Amino acid sequence: MNMYDIIAKKRDGNKLSFNEFEFWLKGYVEGSIPDYQSAAMLMAVFLNGLDEDETNWLTSVIVDSGECIYLNSINGIKVDKHSSGGVGDKTTLLVAPIAAAADLKFAKMSGRGLGHTGGTLDKLEAIPGFEVEMSVTDFRRQVKKDGIAVISQSENIVPADKKLYALRDVTATVNSIPLIAASIMAKKLATGADIIVLDVKYGSGAFIKTPEDAIKLAETMVKIGLNNGKKVSALISSMEAPLGYAVGNSLEVDEVVEALRGEGPDDLLELSTALAGELIYMSKVKTERKAAVLCAKKLLDNGSAWKKFLALVKAQGGSINAIKDNKLTHANYVVKMASLESGYIESINALAIGRAARDLGAGRLKKEDSINPNVGIVFHYKVGDVINKGDCLATLYADDVMGATQVGGDVLAAVKITPEPVEIPDLIYGIVDEQGFTPWLKIL
């Protein structure tokens, strides 16, 4: 067996075997197969795709490339949630405490933001003292004790995925459904949860642009999970506009605290309670999805989720006082962006806003780049709202006038205003589980 023949086989559209995937990735991780051959292989997969067997085999080989986190010693139902990435997406910080308040064991190893998408770890590190690095032993101990832990992914988990991800990023092979599915599900399978809920996003601020392609990705990931003995379902949600009002790490934590205290943007609350409700439903706490979503809302409204969030912050060294007293640090240079016209907000381009926040310092272009947790953008209007010329459309938090000036025009250009009333689009398109796709409106 040699890499040249494997590349040629997939280049010609033929099916690979488990052993051929294993030969490729084992050699790539060990260094005997060079980047240029793996790049050629990725392009062959990108162009010709993988069938269900091949996608399962690729996922299994990625999982087996490193260690797995076993949670069998923890009593109760272990759950996890993953988003395919978006702008202003801070749902994990709400879903986790809601799930823990429902007596589920929320055990998540999370990632950092890259490009225009924000990372959960970056948001948590905006809380003074919050520590995301933790040993596996301490991770299990915290999940047992508090029912909730969100930490950085171990370097020893799925090393093949880390190498492939970096190579895909520079070879224009990111937007491949089987490669995305294998990457996401390998990490989820390696970290031990019994139940996994996915948030698969589509739109201007997502890797996937249409709901149809989002459904295809969701179906592929759900099948991988089922084939590995996991309960998996996936919500399909829109990322045409930023989620919530805030984009930027400490600003987003502020918004989460508002939501946990009974306020917060409607779209953030809707999606977070839907995701948490799905975990509750699949855990058999409630027998109907609608009842499970109502249960999630109740745990949010009665303060149970807030208590679990405080427990998470305390357990991982974060400042409780900074959270309770709204003392997170924000950039000193604050600019109010006035609307240049009157009318209805027709759209807010999520990709453009994500890039603007990144240019302020809230995101990174490379994994090695540092993050400024204090900068970002807060909108004061949502799609469908009426705005008058001169009203404050958004507030920029920047390090200096130069930073604000550079992105101010981009923020205004990302917002489209029309004289006619606008129909507000649905945030949640539907759900994919072992039964297939169901429109969300049929569930609620």
Give the catalytic positions in this structure: 82, 161, 168, 183, 187
With contact defined as beta carbons under 8 Å apart, do 101 and 308 qualify?
A: yes
- Kind of pairing between the strands at 231-238 and 428-433: antiparallel
The one-character DSSP state at 443 is H
With contact defined as beta carbons under 8 Å apart, do 108 and 147 qualify?
A: no
CA angle 359, 362, 364 (to 5 degrees): 70
How many CA within 13 A on the CB side of residue 149? 29
Burial (CB count within 10 angstroms: exposed 0-12, middle 13-18, buried 19+), residue 304: middle
How many beta carbons lie within 10 A of that of residue 229, not counting itself?
A: 8
Closest by Cα among 144, 127, 7, 91 to 268: 91
**Residues 6+ away with beta carbon under 8 Å from 315:** 142, 145, 146, 148, 149
With contact defined as beta carbons under 8 Å apart, do 62 and 186 qualify?
A: yes
DSSP three-state, residue 260: helix
Distance in angstroms (rounded) separating the CA atoms of residues 333 and 344: 29
Residue ranges with strand state E in 301-342: 333-338
Tokens found for residue 374 = 């204090």
Closest by Cα among 221, 222, 185, 217 to 201: 217
Distance in angstroms (rounded) separating the CA atoms of residues 271 and 277: 10
Residue 199: phi and psi, rounded to 5, are: -115, 100
With contact defined as beta carbons under 8 Å apart, do 157 and 66 qualify?
A: yes
Tokens found for residue 275 = 């995701």
Look up tokens 């169901």; give the residue. 438
Distance in angstroms (rounded) separating the CA atoms of residues 374 and 51: 45
DSSP three-state, residue 430: strand
Look up tokens 């390696």; give the residue. 190
Position 206: which residue type?
A
Distance in angstroms (rounded) separating the CA atoms of residues 376 and 42: 35
Residue ranges with strand state E in 52-137: 78-83, 105-110
Look up tokens 């309670």; give the residue. 273
